[in-house]
Amino acid sequence: MKEPLISFRDFSFQYRSLSEPTLKQINLDIYPGEKILIAGPSGSGKSTLAHCINGLIPFTYSGTLSGEYSLRGQRPADLSIFEISRSVGTILQDQDGQFIGLSVGEDVAFAFENDCMAPADMKPKVTHALDIVDMLPLHDQSPHELSGGQKQRVSLAGVLSMEADILLFDEPLANLDPASGKHAMELMEEIHRQTEKTIIIIEHRVEDVLEQPVDRVVIMAEGRIVKVGTPDEILSSSIMREHGLREPLYVSALKYAGCDLLPKDKPSSLAQVSASPVVKERLAVWADSAEPASKSAPHPPLIEMEDVRFSYDGEREIIRGVSLAIGIGERVALLGNNGAGKSTLSHLLTGIAKPNAGVIRLQGEPINSWSIRRRGEHIGYVMQNPNHMITQPMIWDEVALGLRVRGLSEDEVKTRVEETLRICGLYGYREWPVSALSYGQKKRVTIASILVMEPKLMILDEPTAGQDYKHYTEFMSFISHLADSGMSFLFITHDMHLALEYTERAAVLCNGELIAVGDTAHVLTDTDAIAQANLKETSLGALSRLTGVSAPEAFVRHFIVQEKKVNHHE
Amino acid sequence: MSKAGMLYIDSDTLFHRMDGAAKLIVLAVWTVVVFLFQDIRIFVPLFLIGIIMLLSAKLPWKRIRLLVWLMIVFNIFNSLFTLAITPAYGSEVSGSTTVILDLGYNVLTLETVVYVLTLSMKYMSLMPITVLFIYTTHPTRLASSLNRVGVPYKVAYAFSIAFRYIPDMQAEFRNISNAMQARGLGFGKGEGTLSQRLKHFVSIAIPLVQSSLHRIETISNAMDLRGFGKHSKRTWYSATVWHREDYIVIVTSLIVLIAAIAWRVQGYGTFWYPY
Under an 8 A CB cutoff, do A119 and B221 touch? no
What are the Cα distances from residue B29, in Å, to B73, B133, B135? 25, 13, 19
Closest CA of chain A from B221, distance in Å = 7
Closest CA of chain B from A217, distance in Å = 25
- Shared domain check, B181 and B225: yes
Please check whether residue B172 touches A, CB under 8 A: yes
Closest CA of chain B from A366, distance in Å = 18
Model confidence band, residue B2 (pLDDT cutoffs 50, 70, 90): very low
Residues 6+ apart with CB under 8 A from B45: none
Q: Which residue of A has its CA nearest to B140?
A: A102
Mean pLDDT of B9-21: 83
- Shared domain check, B212 and B108: no
Under an 8 A CB cutoff, do B164 and A143 touch? yes
Residues of B in contact with A102 (CB under 8 A): 4, 6, 138-140, 160, 163-164
B55 inside domain: yes
Helix (H) or strand (E) holding A349: helix A342-350
B205 inside domain: yes
User: pTM for this structure?
Assistant: 0.83
Closest CA of chain B from A343, distance in Å = 11
Which one of A376, A387, A393 has the shortest CB-CB distance to B182?
Answer: A376
Please check whether residue B156 touches A, CB under 8 A: no
* β-pair type (A166-170, A198-202): parallel
pLDDT value, residue A569? 63
What are the Cα distances from residue A471, in Å, to A438, A443, A459, A562, B206? 11, 11, 20, 20, 26
B17 inside domain: yes
Instruction: Evaluate if residue B88 carries a pLDDT over 70.
Output: yes
Alpha-carbon span A461 to A468, nearest angstrom: 17
Phi first, then psi, for residue A391 (nearest 5°) are -120, -10
On whether the CB atoms of residues A346 and A490 are closer than 8 A, the answer is yes
Phi first, then psi, for residue A354 (nearest 5°) are -110, 135
- Shared domain check, B222 and B247: no
Residues of A in contact with B206 (CB under 8 A): 390-393
Please check whether residue B175 touches A, CB under 8 A: yes
Closest CA of chain B from A214, distance in Å = 25
- Shared domain check, B184 and B219: yes
Instruction: Give the residues across from A202 on adjacent strands.
Output: A38, A170
B60 inside domain: yes
Under an 8 A CB cutoff, do B218 and A94 touch? yes
Which one of A373, A380, A406 has the shortest CB-CB distance to B181?
Answer: A373
Closest CA of chain B from A404, distance in Å = 9
Alpha-carbon span A216 to B45, nearest angstrom: 75
Which one of B179, B214, B228 has the shortest CB-CB distance to A389?
Answer: B179
B155 inside domain: no
Please check whether residue B238 touches A, CB under 8 A: yes
Q: Which residue of A has its CA nearest to B200?
A: A391
pLDDT value, residue A294? 66
Strands (E), chain B: 99-102, 107-109
- Shared domain check, B190 and B127: no
- Shared domain check, B110 and B172: no
From the CB of residue A428, how many other CB atoms can be counted at a distance below 10 Å?
9
Instruction: Specify the DSSP class assigned to residue A18.
Output: -
On whether the CB atoms of residues A147 and A183 are closer than 8 A, the answer is no
Closest CA of chain A from B206, distance in Å = 6
Which one of B179, B183, B239 has the shortest CB-CB distance to A119?
Answer: B239
The boundaries of the domain holding residue B244 are 11-138+238-275
pLDDT value, residue B167? 79
Under an 8 A CB cutoff, do A406 and B184 touch? yes
- Shared domain check, B265 and B129: yes
From the CB of residue A92, how many other CB atoms can be counted at a distance below 10 Å?
23
Instruction: Specify the DSSP class assigned to residue A74.
Output: B
Please check whether residue B195 touches A, CB under 8 A: no
Q: How far is CA A68 from the centre of its chain?
A: 34
- Shared domain check, B203 and B261: no
Which one of A98, A351, A405 has the shortest CB-CB distance to B185?
Answer: A405
Q: What is the total count of domains within chain B? A: 2
Under an 8 A CB cutoff, do B178 and A350 touch? yes
For residue A493, which of A478, A475, A480, A507 has the smallest C-alpha distance?
A507
B153 inside domain: no
* β-pair type (A365-366, A357-362): antiparallel
Strand, helix or coil for residue B205: helix
The pLDDT tens digits of the residues spanning B129-184 come to 999 988 888 888 888 888 888 889 999 888 888 878 887 888 888 888 888 888 88
Which one of B140, B175, B222 has the shortest CB-CB distance to A92?
Answer: B222
In the predicted model, what is the mean pLDDT of chain B? 86
Instruction: Specify the DSSP class assigned to residue A386.
Output: G
- Shared domain check, B253 and B121: yes
Q: Which one of B180, B183, B191 makes the best mutation probe of the A interface by having the most chain A beta carbons within 10 Å?
A: B183
Phi first, then psi, for residue A238 (nearest 5°) are -110, 15
Residues 6+ apart with CB under 8 A from A465: A174, A175, A384, A495
Rg (CA), chain B: 24
Under an 8 A CB cutoff, do A100 and B180 touch? no
B148 inside domain: no
Closest CA of chain B from A330, distance in Å = 21
On whether the CB atoms of residues A413 and A404 are closer than 8 A, the answer is yes
Mean pLDDT of B107-112: 90
Residue-wise DSSP of A92-133: -S-TTTT--SSSHHHHHHHHHHHTT--HHHHHHHHHHHHHHT
Which one of B139, B207, B231 has the shortest CB-CB distance to A390?
Answer: B207
Under an 8 A CB cutoff, do B175 and A402 touch? no
Count A/B contacts: CB-CB distance under 8 Å.
172
Residues of A in contact with B172 (CB under 8 A): 388
Closest CA of chain B from A372, distance in Å = 5
- Shared domain check, B221 and B172: yes
Q: How far is CA A97 from the centre of its chain?
A: 17
* β-pair type (A505-510, A513-519): antiparallel
Strand, helix or coil for residue A552: helix
Scan residues 207-236 of B and list those with Cβ closer than 8 Å to A.
Answer: 207, 210-211, 214-215, 218-231, 233-236
Under an 8 A CB cutoff, do A102 and B183 touch? no
Under an 8 A CB cutoff, do A387 and B176 touch? no
What is the full per-residue pLDDT of chain A (570 aa) written as tens digits? Answer: 678 999 999 999 999 888 899 999 999 999 999 999 999 988 889 999 999 999 999 888 989 999 999 999 898 888 888 889 889 999 998 888 889 988 899 999 999 999 999 988 999 999 999 998 989 999 888 888 888 889 999 999 998 888 889 999 999 988 788 888 999 999 999 999 999 999 999 998 899 999 999 999 999 999 999 999 999 999 999 999 999 898 999 999 999 999 888 998 899 999 999 888 888 999 999 988 887 766 667 788 999 999 999 998 878 889 999 999 999 989 999 998 877 889 899 999 999 899 999 999 999 999 999 988 889 889 999 988 888 888 888 899 999 999 998 889 999 999 999 999 988 888 988 888 888 888 888 888 999 999 999 899 999 998 887 778 888 888 888 888 888 888 999 999 888 888 988 999 999 999 999 999 999 989 988 989 988 888 888 899 899 999 988 888 889 989 988 888 877 665
pLDDT value, residue B1? 33
pLDDT value, residue A296? 67
- Shared domain check, B196 and B64: no
Instruction: Give the residues across from A199 on adjacent strands.
Output: A35, A167
ipTM of the complex: 0.81
Strand, helix or coil for residue A305: strand
From the CB of residue B69, how many other CB atoms can be counted at a distance below 10 Å?
10
pLDDT value, residue A39? 95
B99 inside domain: yes
Alpha-carbon span A279 to A547, nearest angstrom: 9
pLDDT value, residue A314? 79
**Cα-based angle A276, A280, A286 (whole degrees, multiple of 5):** 145
Closest CA of chain A from B129, distance in Å = 25
Under an 8 A CB cutoff, do B203 and A97 touch? no
Instruction: Specify the DSSP class assigned to residue A229.
Output: E
Rg (CA), chain A: 25
In three state form, how does the secondary structure of A169-197 look? EECCCCCCCHHHHHHHHHHHHHHHHHHCC
**Is the bond leading into A393 cis (omega within 30 degrees of zero)?**
no
Strand, helix or coil for residue A202: strand
Alpha-carbon span B213 to B216, nearest angstrom: 5
* β-pair type (A166-170, A63-71): unpaired
What contacts 24+ positions apart, CB below 8 Å, involve A78-87? A79/A55, A81/A55, A81/A56, A81/B224, A81/B225, A82/B227, A82/B230, A84/A54, A84/A55, A85/A54, A85/A55, A85/A111, A85/A162, A85/A164, A85/B224, A85/B225, A85/B226, A85/B227, A86/A162, A86/A164, A87/A164, A87/A165, A87/A166
Residue type, B169: M
Residues of A in contact with B166 (CB under 8 A): none
Alpha-carbon span B192 to B174, nearest angstrom: 19
What are the Cα distances from residue B51, in Å, to A31, B127, B131, B245? 66, 9, 10, 20
- Shared domain check, B61 and B123: yes
* β-pair type (A331-335, A505-510): parallel
Mean pLDDT of B85-96: 86
